[in-house]
Amino acid sequence: MFMPKIIFDMPLNHREITVYRCLCDKANKKGECYPSARTIAKELKISSRTVFRALNGLEQKRLITRRNRVRNNGGTSSNIYKLGVM
């Protein structure tokens, strides 16, 4: 796991730090991962709504970027997250 210490110097709340750490655990060498909010919530034992609030905060603070993923059949899949501070 790679998690830059700089995030502890940023104005993040506990849920943003926890979700960011979870994303760091799942990230590949490019700093990308694609867990669903439901998966994150289940692993962290928090609500999906809490995960969404944390992801929104992380995105506003430019620690992550989100992109929608679309399946070959046109259906949606989980987002892909790119970690901004690596």
pLDDT confidence band for 78 (50 / 70 / 90): confident
Backbone angles phi, psi at 80, to 5 degrees: -105, 130
Do 34 and 81 form a contact (C-beta atoms < 8 A)? yes
Does this model's pTM top 0.95? My answer is: no
Q: What is the pLDDT of residue 73?
A: 85
Among left, alpha and beta (phi > 0; psi -120 to 50; other), residue 16 is: alpha
Over residues 24-64, the pLDDT tens digits come to: 999 999 999 999 999 999 999 999 999 999 999 999 999 99
Confidence class of residue 75 from pLDDT cuts 50, 70 and 90?
confident
What pLDDT shows up at residue 44? Answer: 98
Residue-level pLDDT at 58:
96
